[in-house]
Amino acid sequence: MSKEWVSALDTARVLRSETWRESLFRYARTACLETEDNGAALTFEFTGTGVALGLGQHAVSAYGKPSLGKLIVTVDDGSPHILYPGNEAREVVLARGLTQGKHQVRIDHRLNRGETGCRISGFRVLAEHSGELSFVLNGEENGFFVDARAVVRRRNQIVRNALVRNWLSGACRLTGLPAGKGYSLELVACGWASQKIEGIAIQKERETRLPPVYLHRNSETIPQGVRFPVLGHPTIRRPKESFRVRLGAYDHTIGQVKLSRRIGPATISRTVAFEEDSSAKFYYDREGTIKLSQDIPPGLYDLSIKVSGSRGDFTRQSPRSVYVVRDYPKDPVFITFGHLDTQGQYQAEYERRLAEIANLIAPDMVLISNAVNPAYISGSHLVLEMPYAITFGNHQFYGHEKWYGDQVGITDYGPDLCILNFGHPWHVDLSQADALLSSRAQAKIKIINAFEHNAPVETFLDRHKIKLIHDAHGPGEKVMTIGTTPTTRVGKINSSSFRVVRFKDGHVASTTYRGDAVAPIPFDRAGPPPLSVTYDPDNDGKHDKVTATVTNMLKDAFPDCRVTFVLPAGTYAVDGGRLETMITSDNGKYTVLTVRVDAPAKGTARATAWIT
């Protein structure tokens, strides 16, 4: 392993001249020193035979310009050389093979054809007999691909776990790896299929360069040939009910239609009936009605439709687009969050942990406001076990419609509850949103998941009797009532928290933490999840007695938490919880249980499933 890492913020070891400011770019993993001043410099003294520089993440297009200055590097009294942060990987070897002893490296920031800027995270003092691993990393939807997590192992032991990739060039480098054979590299990016490369040898005091690496998108993140229902615009139905579907099928034969979902090693699916509406056919598109079977278990399903004809056989699919419920909620529960600045891998990992918390709390739906990068967000929510609505706002990656469709849409949660998704500022034409809500005048609870909260009060919020508007941008009190309905506004206070919104008798009953006037539920990005579950032994379908322990670090209790067990096929009983569902997998090898437990404030709850 590398000999020593020194943060650029270490004022005792790293000396500054001219203007540098501390920067944690949009909740990046590592804080940096940032400058745009021509002539700003850093000096670092170290003892060793080599040193590497750590560069901070570039700003992405949603937030500003990347680091485009140049760096003049001088080691001891040697000749200076130039680095261009816009092209370099986030780790760069500055010197190796020095005589053992004290050395000094100086970094001067200079104008580069009129462009400026650099972010420096720190310095790595290199151990003797170490080397580097470098490669170029790109992937599908490359315009949305910012960074990835690289996990380097040697004989199954983790040697480095770091974020890599300069999104401008795709360049990646990991410095300070002990020389030797038997290395592997795993690359992980939310929304892309992971890739593992084996049989890597690190050479002493040299760079090992891999062939270019390309990551494919996870197919579960993008609808393929289905117009509706789709991710972000799901259909929610009970068994025996029907819904409309539209797909690209041209003049081909529409065959088997299937709903399926996976829970660990278990697959649960049902073939469903499809009846085409020939009057809705146009050119490539076909449309019809799907009727759910009576025996379909509740859960969030992928929709797949087999199509065959003169152009071959293929499958149209719409992942995570059909949510089956036993009953429509009388007093719905929502988890809300937004403006999380999820623009890359580290931020997406936080949002994934939020999704895991949501699975435990088990709301009816998740409302996400003012999102950024759909490629990572769609990946982070692949674990989510309920539907969600999402808007993109002032820091959006343009083109998010490819994942989430129109900025304006509505989700019906039975006849009495509907959720309007509205991703525009409120000064735009509201006729589409107005028509969607007007056609649901009889719904008792109408909700808006918005980018901002300042909808016209009398002519929109009051006229449509909106009970809740969730947003994550704009001024004003973050929890307040608006108009005569009244409409409850819940907004974001910070980017390290979430809310649980509970209804009672058709009205918002609670939105805050510990009964505070405005406070959300805290969730420190660097800390452990405040609500979590562990299983003993592993919940992998191999054990017929498993205990789930729910740990609640918060000062609010969470009733009706949902835990899921995957067990060998059989009939099971439960101690310490309330059995909700018991489902056999398609191949008959597994039984999947969902169990409800009450998590006390600052405490734990346990449920044990055992075969009878």
Per DSSP, which regions of 325-437 are E strands? 333-338, 365-371, 388-392, 408-412, 417-422
Average pLDDT over residues 391-396: 95
pLDDT at 1 over 50: no
Q: Total structural domains in the chain?
A: 4
Same domain for 351 and 202: no
Amino acid 312: pLDDT: 86
pLDDT at 150 over 80: yes
**Predicted confidence (pLDDT) per residue in 283-310, tens digit:** 999 999 999 999 999 999 999 999 999 8
CATH number of the domain to which 289 belongs: 2.60.40.10
pLDDT at 368 over 50: yes
**Predicted confidence (pLDDT) per residue in 469-517, tens digit:** 999 999 999 999 999 999 999 999 999 999 999 999 999 999 999 999 9
Same domain for 592 and 482: no
- Domain extent for 161: 4-215
Same domain for 365 and 287: no
CA 44/CA 104 separation, integer angstroms? 6
Same domain for 406 and 469: yes
Average pLDDT over residues 11-35: 95
CA 481/CA 484 separation, integer angstroms? 9
Average pLDDT over residues 45-72: 95
Amino acid 3: pLDDT: 66
Same domain for 232 and 204: no
Same domain for 290 and 357: no
Among residues 324, 358, 393, the one where a domain terminates is: 324
CATH number of the domain to which 399 belongs: 3.60.21.10
Amino acid 252: pLDDT: 94
CA 77/CA 550 separation, integer angstroms? 59
Model's pTM, two decimal places? Answer: 0.96
What does the block give as tokens for 459? 């002519």
Helix (H) or strand (E) holding 291, with range, is strand 285-291
What's the pLDDT band for 533 if we cut at 50, 70, 90?
Answer: very high
Mean pLDDT of the chain: 97
Q: Give the count of beta carbons closer than 10 Å to the beta carbon of residue 9.
A: 17
Residue 383, φ and ψ in degrees, nearest 5:
-85, -10
pLDDT at 2 over 70: no
Q: Give the CA count within 13 Å in the CB-facing half-sphere of 507.
A: 6
CA 612/CA 609 separation, integer angstroms? 10
What dihedral do alpha carbons 7, 8, 14, 20 form, nearest 10°?
-160
Same domain for 278 and 205: no
Measured at the CA of 313, the angle between CA 309 and CA 314, to 5 degrees, comes to: 125
Residues 6+ apart with CB under 8 A from 307: 225, 247, 249, 252, 253, 254, 255, 313, 314, 315, 316
**Beta strands 487-490 and 479-482, pairing class:** antiparallel
CATH number of the domain to which 14 belongs: 2.60.120.260
Amino acid 310: pLDDT: 81
**Predicted confidence (pLDDT) per residue in 224-279, tens digit:** 999 999 999 999 999 999 999 999 999 999 999 999 999 999 999 999 999 999 99
